[in-house]
Structure 1
Amino acid sequence: MDRSLEQATMRKVAWRLVPFICLLYFIAFIDRVNIGFAALTMNKDLGFSSSVFGFGAGVFFVGYFLFEVPSNIILDKVGARIWIARVMITWGLISGGFAFITGETSFYVMRFLLGAAEAGFFPGIILYLSYWFPVRYRAGVVSLFMAAAPVSVMLGSPLSSALLAMDGILGLHGWQWMFIIEAIPAVILGVVVLFYMTDRPEKAKWLTDGQRGWLVAEMNAERASKQVAAKHSLMSGLADPRVLALALVYFGTSAGLYTLGIWSPQIIKGFGLSTMEVGLLNAVPPTLAVIAMILWARHSDKTGERTWHVFIACLVAAAGLMLAGGASSVIAVIAALSLVNIGISAAKPPLWAMPTMFLSGSAAAVGIATINSIGNLGGFAGPWVIGWIKDRTGSFTGGLIFVATLLVISAVVTLLVARSGRRAEHTRATTAH
């Protein structure tokens, strides 16, 4: 009876929450990386060098870093419904405001403000999922949520290319139309969140009494089982060395992810293709990544293994970046970028299943936000260094090798975190006896 109740409950929760949060992340990611397509024409219109563009694209993550932890703490206190709505409405308005930038300073300021506005969304959703899904379901659910990122690139690439073709309508450039039109859904969905999202299982009137009772009891039992091993206090989430180590792992994966989102259109464009051809080809690698991510996360959940799933995926992404740096044809660069997409996308769900194995409560809220905020500084470092090296060498190769090195470091640190966790478990077991 319990098994059938569990299956019915989790199926209803998944259908209610997962498609909606995937849609939110889909819109968020388009607004975060559409700058990569705008650059195809905007850089020339505004006179931006590769260094200026790379720094401006990356400064998003400085605002993100500064406001991430406070934002997640507020979400834990006031509830996901109100805070996620606030995040979406403000980032939508700021994203639309990019249509009116006039030079370097306004570009930098708006990217910083966009990062500050969006801070808390991603770790807030990761925390939110931990309220609703037992740990045995979590990597699989996170993989579906995170699949929205490659899907947004897959669908957003040709869409952004098409919007760039609106150049001249009502006296606006195509990139201005792209920012305005792609910002509207974020504001609309921010309002929808207020009416659709439920903060906790205890408030889920759309579950039957039996389903709600089972889920509340299951999540309470899971939290109780972590009372001895898991850390709960706010300071624990900041001070645990494993949190800082996972932030370093995430730093490398973020550098790779935003190298793709921000620079891949220009890398592909370098082979002499039209804007629409770039949009269509740029959609191929994330299409493959979605499939790989979901299958890899399910395998991680089925085996209960996280470390090697992260390690192998990071090395695959690093290899892809090295190959992309030496690619001499469109086919070769698309194949290499596909490897990068597959590796980075596959690494993230098992990586995000790791912090809640040793943190809960306020520590989980702070720990997840800390990992995401520090780790996402890789989204500043990768794109900025690539632009800087591109201006000095005329090639993307050196920058791609730099990001590949960061991913190798991520792989090694993942093994060190696992080793530290095994030592801690051994110590607790020895003390208990």
Structure 2
Amino acid sequence: MNEKVVNAALLGLGTVGTGVYKVIKSQEQEMTAKLGCQVRITKILVRNLEKASGKVDDPSVLTTDWADIEGDPSIDIVIELIGGIEPARTYILAALKAGKNVVTANKDLIAVHGKEILETARTAQKDFLFEAAVAGGIPIISPLKNSLEANHVTEVMGIVNGTTNFILTKMSQEGMEFSDALALATELGYAEADPTADIEGIDAGRKVAILASVAFNSRVTLDNVHIEGITKITAKDIRYAKEMGCEIKLLGVARCQKDGVEAYVCPMLIPAEHPLASVNDSYNAVFVHGDAVGDTMFYGRGAGELPTASAVAGDVFEVVRNMKADCCGRVGCTCYKTLPVKDMADTHNRYFLRLQVEDRCGVLAEILEHFAKYQASVAQIMQKESKRPDTAEVVVITKLVSEGAFFKVKEELENSASVRKISSMIRVYQK
């Protein structure tokens, strides 16, 4: 390693890539004092040279050929920001095998192929850091691997997708329906042209897989995470939740229990007094519960050019320090356990159920019989007027019950002559 300069290559010059370039440039004056050397981006892999040339000071660093980076022995760090599975996976594995350290923000790749990449990094004795893959600029991976390492962590949960949180905030604060709030999110740039990964919960699911793996020291992949999005949430659901003293948020939940790991993403009612209930707009927040530390909360911008770039650049600086101390790879894969991941039917939650039923005497008693049959106790029940003739709207919140038992109740209600429609079913968060 050159004591004066560490050379890095940047893969991708999109929103985050441009942010990383700006952040590292902005640190040039203080970098030697902080690190004892300079970090220079000497190569940037792009698709279109002409389009990218206006984003950098020196266009000669741009290339469209991965071989220019892989085969350059002077490049010590590869910063992968192109996203997706391929060619990112191929580039990262090749970089590690070529003796280069890697920093990435690629949650898609880590949630599916994290084990393969981390094992390759261990074999090569190189760093593979991914702080920016979860919650943008909020530090969470490093705290779990370092500051909170002395804890037995039993739960990691929170809001880890800014787009859906913005949508639900507008639905809650302004009474918007989902489609209108999504349109506004798209107009303001919070939602992608194709928002599927966000609104269907897939993006959050990837992050939950990563958080669970790191927190519980046991591999959890995207396929292990039960995922539901927010597309079925209505303004009426949110209004009724408020009447019950709750807000609706898309939560990612990972719990480590005696019989295995629970990992799921779904919209949930959360009490208004809970700190997460007041996390609004595009902000993210993650709660961690450890046996020694108790509850900790990490809050901030979960996405965006500079917040995400902050996390990426922080990892780059960490790699440089490890290089100077000749200890790259010192904190690699932490999954030394093999814990089972529970089926969603074996989890326990409370449930919010909104029903359209016959408006007649005795119908509430009939409904409650279905719950009693499967030992699903009801905590709250209220009847609302309906615009449809001879129809009443009933809202039920259960006590804690297994998902398997609750869905048997739900199936019986769907087949009941007195129930015309189940309008919505939403879980209720309970610590």
Q: TM-score range by the shorter chain?
A: under 0.3
More strand by share: 2
Comparing both chains, which one has the higher relative contact order based on Cα–Cα distances under 8 Å and sequence gaps of 6 or more? 1
**Higher Cα Rg, which structure:** 2
TM-score, structure 1 normalization: 0.25
Relative to its length, the structure with more helix (as a share) is 1
TM-score (normalised: structure 2): 0.26
